[in-house]
Structure 1
Amino acid sequence: MPGADHGQGDRLGLLQTLGKLWTCGVRIDWSGLHDHKLEHHTPRGLATALSKTRGSARPNALVPIQTGGSRTPLFCPHPFGGHVLLYTPLAKALGTEQPFFGLQARGPNGEARPHLSIPEMAREYVEAMKSVQIHGPYQLAGLSMGGSIAWDMACQLHIAGDKVAIVGLARCQSASQA
């Protein structure tokens, strides 16, 4: 049926709405949106989720994108820009048995002082990750700058004696290439 949603959601409408909100100066707590399971990604779903996050505490770095499943969780730090919504399609592609958590930056919405370095981000994200999974082996992956953060997290975990099963890097550079 033309115009029917078919359970997929109106993603283009959602992206347009997000763009308009950003232009108007509205900054969004992505962790709060994922907490409210914005599963259909529609403007109505966005409005509902935003109304539920109003007045919440400072956003946590940990963004639960997909919490169900029996596999070892996958943790993905944000790329440049600080947000993790772009990982949602990957989480869905990995299936419902794969728990998936994004690690978002603090500060891009003006709610807190931004991190000053990748090692500082990695320390905070390791702490947030351990609130979900206390012991390794850990699974990390990141796109672009997120890959550099994931690598630093893996190094910090290794130095602390924790095991890292995988570090997936996509489209990232080493510090010497930057």
Structure 2
Amino acid sequence: MRRKAGGARPDSQQLLAAKDKTVPDVIAPGLDVLFCGINPSLYSAALGQHFARPGNRFWPALHQAGFTDRLLHPSESSELLRAGCGITNIVARATATAAELSPEELRKGQIALAATVERWRPRWLAVLGIGAYRHAFVRPKATLGRQAERIGDANIWVLPNPSGLNAHYQLAELAALFSAFRDAARAR
């Protein structure tokens, strides 16, 4: 499946200028699922779009898992709201890699994330990245899948990071894990 064109790619100066910028959340009250990335990439911040880097598998995995009826382009992220889904991040500031975030910054981000979840009240929070979840939530032995803890009324599910830099999971595996989550979330 091909993505539709989304404009010019950011050049190296635009990427450097995107450091520490933020990408606005895609959020509304009472969503079924709030997907939570680790933090925006420089590419995403330069374009102002979540999961915008061409190698990121978030949008294809979301579609293949049945969350969307077609493959959305990052510029169409507001379409997720119609599907009962939204997007936020543990840490709002953009970096070249998530490795630039300290465990302390991830823990502080989790506090802000909890406030966001309590304010908007999604049924599910889907954290995208087991390592970031372990650090941010101080759960060093956490595994993928449903977590025992909750934030307010929101259930928590951990999925792999869909970044193209995460070579542990290919698109088919990501889509299968996203699909298993979708089935569990629909089962209530």
- The question of a shared fold, defined as TM-score above 0.5 by the shorter chain, is answered with no
| TM-score using structure 1 length | 0.44
Which fold has the larger relative contact order, with Cα–Cα distance below 8 Å and residues 6 or more apart in sequence?
2
